[in-house]
Amino acid sequence: MAEQILAPGPEIACIKLSKTYGYRDTEVQAVAPLSVTFQAGRMTALVGPSGCGKSTLLRMVAGLEQPSEGQIVAGDKSPQDMQRAGALAMAFQDASLLPWRSVRGNIALARRLARLPADPRAVDDMIARVGLAGFEKVRPAALSGGMRQRVAIARCLVTQPRVLLLDEPFGAVDELTRARLNAELPPLWRATATTSLLVTHSIREAVSLADRVIVFSSRPARIVGDIAIPSEARRDRSVHLALVEKVSAALSGGWDEAGRAENLAAQ
């Protein structure tokens, strides 16, 4: 596929964003008023204890949930504008493939939903790039967990999204597969200068993949660490380890502050 030269993805600004859920009588604040900017064309990793609201933040950026207060602006667009422009893509923790469609069918569907012209060659090319050549006609049920996530990533990338949202996409696969996916897939989206957000539980994954790691406290999420990851972290092992330590420290600081023992126990 002849790679189109695309402008970098937009800068995403979250302004005084908060999200409150009402469960009958009790109100749960998932995200406290939060202002943060994600740089254009870069990948930002969001780490934090389970249930701190980072997935909710991601879903609000995707326009899947409405903020209770505040707003999100991507470039000059709202999340809904980006949806309509076919500029978004998202990978979920389970691959969320439609079981009645083949690998090819699942990936082609994304282009169709995004109102892009059908392009069988682009689809097959993307299948080859995620390492699934030969599996075009296979249904998801016959694939392993790692292969399904490859399909999910291919489905994200085939529309050349300007904003890529990854919600623990490798959370459900084993360590070895995860390492391979982490090595093989990121170059695919790094090349396209997409603005990406990655929610992950793995500090090592965050440091390996992202340009910046934002650390959240337990619910309601506040930013307790904001760590830039220079590109040498991907080459120099000692730099990498030092950054992993730094993120870990920020994370445990956030816990101690909130005094939530169950998060420590869960880890």
Partner 1 sequence: MNSLIRPTFWPEGLSRNLLGVAVLLVLWHIAASALTGSYMLAGPTAVINYLIAEHALIGRALAVTLQNAAWGFLAGNLAAIGLALLVTLLPALRLPIGAVALVVFCLPLVATGPVLRVLYGPGPGPQITLAALSVYYTTFLPLLVGLRAAPGSWFDLITLYGRGAWSTFIHIRIMASLPYLMAGLQIAAPAAFLGAMVGEFTGADRGMGVLALRAMRGLDVDATWTLALVAALVSMIAYGAIGLLAAWLGTSKPDILLATAPAKTSGNVASVLRSVTFVLATIVLILISWWVAMEAFALSRFFAKRPDDIWRYLMTAPDASANRAVLWAASQATLVQVIPGYLAGLGVGAALAMLLMLRPGLSGAVLPVAIALRSVPIVTTAPLIVLALGRGAAGTITIVAVMTFFPALVACMQGLRQAPGQVLDVMRLYATTPLARLWYAQLPAMLPGFFAAARLSVPAAILAVTVAEWLATGRGLGALMAMTASTSDYNLLWSAIVVVTAGASIGYALVGGVERLILSRLAPEQLKP
Binding site for partner 1 (CB under 8 A): 59, 62-64, 80, 82-86, 88-90, 92, 94, 96, 98-100, 109-110, 113-115, 140-141, 159
Nearer to partner 1, 87 or 233 (CB): 87
Nearer to partner 1, 108 or 227 (CB): 108
Minimum Å distance from CB 82 to partner 1? 8
Using the minimum distance from each CB to partner 1, give the nearer residue, 170 or 255: 170
Strands 223-228 and 212-216: antiparallel
Residue 59 or residue 150: which is nearer to partner 1 going by CB? 59
Cβ closest to partner 1, residue 160 vs residue 208: 160
Q: How far is the CB of 205 from partner 1 (least distance, A)?
A: 21
Which contacts of 244-251 are long-range, i.e. CB under 8 A and separated by 24 or more positions?
244/203, 244/204, 244/207, 247/47, 247/203, 247/206, 247/207, 247/213, 247/215, 248/203, 250/215, 250/224, 250/225, 251/47, 251/48, 251/49, 251/203, 251/215, 251/224, 251/225
Q: How far is the CB of 166 from partner 1 (least distance, A)?
A: 13
Rounded to a whole number of angstroms, the minimum distance from the CB of residue 249 to partner 1 is: 33
Q: How far is the CB of 54 from partner 1 (least distance, A)?
A: 16
Nearer to partner 1, 15 or 109 (CB): 109
Task: Name the minimum Å distance from CB 247 to partner 1.
Answer: 28
Angle in degrees, 0-180, between the axes of helices 145-157 and 103-113, rounded to the nearest 10: 30
